[in-house]
Structure 1
Amino acid sequence: MASVDSPTVFVVAADPARAATLAHALPLVTVVPVTDAETLLREAHVTPPDVALLYTDTPGVPLWQVLPMLRQRAELGGTRWLAVGTQGLGEMLSAGADALISDSTPTAALVLQVRTLLGRAAQHRDMQGRVTSLQRRMDSWEHEERVRDQLVHMLVHDLKNPIAAVMGLLEIVYEDHRVPEDNRELIKVARDETQHLLHLAVNMLDVRKIQAGKMNLKRELVFSPMFEEILEQARGDVGSGLRDRHVRSEVEHDLSPASADPEILRRVLANLISNAMKHTTTGGVITLMVRSVTGGVQVIVRDDGEGIPADDIPNLFAAFEQSRLTLHGRFDTGMGLAFCKLAIEEHGGTIWVESERGKGATFYFNLPLAVDGEDDDFIEILN
């Protein structure tokens, strides 16, 4: 006797002996006799079969007329349809039958064909189960991503204002000459760490935006004077820590204009300068350069710090994979460099680093030049 979970085969034929013969040959299969097309339409909706044998000599509505309707039902997507007969097989094939066989075929051959179709139906069920499982996991992942994005957005926006307020207050206290010198040093450390915390929060939000494709660049033509201005703004964003370093800037004159979002470019440079500062000691040298290269503009941020271990370089631009070896012992999430990579690639550029242990590190990124249309628009504005 077939089990509850056994496969089901419909035998659509006027002669019930055909179903009985198949049931005897397939003891582990539930064989259901169906007398006509109308019954097939009704029963298939209630109990979708794994395989259905459609005898072409079944009286009443021709089975080739109802087969297209059956194949459109979602619940019958895994059913395999076997047309059995000597006439009308062409119509059955055109209607969507999966296989054809003569009604004079020996029972053993018919059983073998049914077993083959049952195997295909089982494979379909297994695949559908996997698809359903993957869809559930995808839905769960998408839900988690939405929750994570909302949480990051909420945290960053809720943190930015109080962090900025703390920074402002620390700056006021630091500039007050009544504060003893030893306390001023502590205030300076607190201010720099607060600045670092603000950078971490903002970078976290921006990395999520770029990964989600939600950061829309506001491209402009960036000429030499604007590069000089962006470098100066980025230095100011880094904070007072640069007062203890020697920062040198060099922008090539008469650069062909790059196509970039100035605000995002400023953020990238602030992150790279901040990274250079973390890897240099007091009195260290940080060099900023902007120069033309074939097909674009290249920006360089070089420091003379301790350098980056070779093992850390391949994953340096991945979030949470930044080199932990810094002169200041500060744990970093790596979000800053991850943001730099995503932002430059969003511009259509490239970014990389060259470093030798003990000899500093040099970060490079290339930006594409403005296309001809952008240049024409700028000329029209000037005119």
Structure 2
Amino acid sequence: MSEGLAPADARPAVFVVSPAAEYATVLAAELPGAEVRWVPDGDQLLREAHARIPQVAVLYDRVPGTPLPQVLGILRQRAELAATHWLAVGSSGLGELLGAGADALIGDTTPPQALAAQVLTLLRRASQQTQLHERVERLQGRLDTWEHDEQVRDQLVHMLVHDLKNPIAAVIGLLQIIEEDAGLSDESRELLRLCRDESQHLLHLSVNMLDVRKIQAGKMNLRRELMFSPMFEEVIELARGDVGSALRERRLSVQVARDLSPVSADPEILRRVLANLLSNALKHSLSGSGIFVNVQPERQGGGVLISVRDEGEGIPAEDIPNLFAAFEQSRLTLHGRFDTGMGLAFCKMAIEQHGGRIWVESVRGEGSEFCMTLPYAQDVEDDEDDDYAELLI
């Protein structure tokens, strides 16, 4: 064995299907790094290919027994031989071999060195194809694992949210009932209000988590309706109630332009978006500061522009690029509450699914303004999907 030569069982296999063994002997002398095996006829090739998978098979014409085009047609159907390359050698019958799946043709008068060079080329191709196939299998395995993990994650999120949603809603309802008790002291009433607001926040977090997963998976369809100015006012008022009583500590101003051209939108999803933006403005501003909601025609005339502006601390410029990503939020905040960043991620995905866009403009120390556009209504068919989380208390 020459220096650096791999063991026999690790060397690439080359089958030489020829009427005489000398064809294989000559080729073996030119290919010391390969295992060259002589196969006398097509029937033997069928048997040999089951025991040892060749990287290259050299097929000479005028071989006795079953015609090689028939044998090659059978072998080409075997998946384990997908990387095998077939080289037809001869002066007649090569067209039939080519039709049966031969990869290359060469004349029987070709010098051994040239034949060996052709075989080496096919060996390299076979090796590359095998490596590519193995890489595809590895990637497919990773993809299967990822899809399984995603499915488990979706099931876990769905289970957690649906198991949490009803108890949280029940707690909020009970807190509201207790809060109406006339015998409560002001201190107890304030504590109950804080408990209700925090429970409301927890409900927002869990529902946003589920909806972000659904939008990512393409499983949340929109229940579109034609929305005019009065419906925008109604949706904003509902979103205001979703945020909770803490919003009373801000100066909230709502301006909706009259006679807006209709947009086709899901009012429940838009309510959730506005509730998230109002909650975000509340979170990043001080008591007594202003929050301004404005709905007006877009300047370019392509739709409706909705903005939510606060007078809070503003957002650092380096935080803005990732602000709408899940599990991202500004590092600066006026409260100590942990947030997942799912709210803004949901807003971005929901508005983009409507065909609009959302962005933020902010100046440190002067506040932030979240702007979003919704295109005017066109011929949009109503989507039907019962599988989404509702935030109704």
Normalising by structure 2, we get a TM-score of 0.91
**Does structure 2 conserve the Cα–Cα contact (< 8 Å) formed by 1:224 and 1:253?**
yes
Shift, 1:162, TM fit: 1.2
- Partner in structure 1 of residue 388 of structure 2: none
Shift, 1:372, TM fit: 5.1
- Partner in structure 2 of residue 163 of structure 1: 168
Higher RCO, 1 vs 2 (CA within 8 Å, ≥6 residues apart): 2
One of 330, 351, 358 as aligned partner of 1:351: 358
What SS class does the counterpart of residue 11 from structure 1 fall into?
A: strand
One of 49, 52, 55 as aligned partner of 2:57: 52
- Which deviations, in whole Å up to 9, do the C-alpha atoms of 1:325-383 show, x marking residues without a partner? 11112221100000000001111110111010111111111111111577xxxxxxxxx
5 Å-filtered alignment, 1:322-333, equals 322-333=329-340
What SS class does the counterpart of residue 4 from structure 1 fall into?
A: helix
More helix by share: 1
One of 313, 318, 323 as aligned partner of 1:311: 318
Normalising by structure 1, we get a TM-score of 0.93
One of 158, 176, 200 as aligned partner of 1:153: 158
Shift, 1:65, TM fit: 3.6
- Partner in structure 2 of residue 28 of structure 1: 33
Cα distance in 2 between the residues matched to 1:69 and 1:298: 66
What SS class does the counterpart of residue 326 from structure 1 fall into?
A: coil
Unaligned runs of 5+ in 2: 2-6, 382-393
- Which deviations, in whole Å up to 9, do the C-alpha atoms of 1:235-279 show, x marking residues without a partner? 111111111111111111111110101111111111111111111
| Residues 1:337 and 2:339 are matched in the alignment | no
What SS class does the counterpart of residue 283 from structure 1 fall into?
A: coil
Query: Which one is further off, 29-38 or 179-188?
Result: 179-188
Shift, 1:127, TM fit: 0.5
Shift, 1:4, TM fit: 1.7
Cα distance in 2 between the residues matched to 1:246 and 1:56: 93
**Does structure 2 conserve the Cα–Cα contact (< 8 Å) formed by 1:289 and 1:299?**
yes
Amino acid at match of 1:208: R
Cα distance in 2 between the residues matched to 1:3 and 1:330: 67
- Partner in structure 2 of residue 266 of structure 1: 271
Query: Which one is further off, 108-117 or 198-207?
Result: 108-117
- Partner in structure 2 of residue 141 of structure 1: 146
Cα distance in 1 between the residues matched to 2:367 and 2:179: 31
**Does structure 2 conserve the Cα–Cα contact (< 8 Å) formed by 1:324 and 1:331?**
no
What SS class does the counterpart of residue 117 from structure 2 fall into?
A: helix
Cα distance in 2 between the residues matched to 1:106 and 1:371: 73
- Partner in structure 1 of residue 246 of structure 2: 241
Shift, 1:323, TM fit: 1.1
Q: How many residues align?
A: 375
Query: Which one is further off, 111-120 or 334-343?
Result: 111-120
Cα distance in 1 between the residues matched to 2:376 and 2:48: 68
Cα distance in 2 between the residues matched to 1:343 and 1:246: 27
Amino acid at match of 1:306: E
Shift, 1:217, TM fit: 0.7
Cα distance in 2 between the residues matched to 1:46 and 1:109: 29
Cα distance in 1 between the residues matched to 2:358 and 2:327: 18
Amino acid at match of 1:344: I
**Does structure 2 conserve the Cα–Cα contact (< 8 Å) formed by 1:86 and 1:102?**
yes
- Partner in structure 2 of residue 15 of structure 1: 20
Shift, 1:298, TM fit: 1.2
**Does structure 1 conserve the Cα–Cα contact (< 8 Å) formed by 2:361 and 2:369?**
yes
What SS class does the counterpart of residue 63 from structure 2 fall into?
A: coil
Amino acid at match of 1:341: K
**Percent sequence identity over aligned pairs:** 65
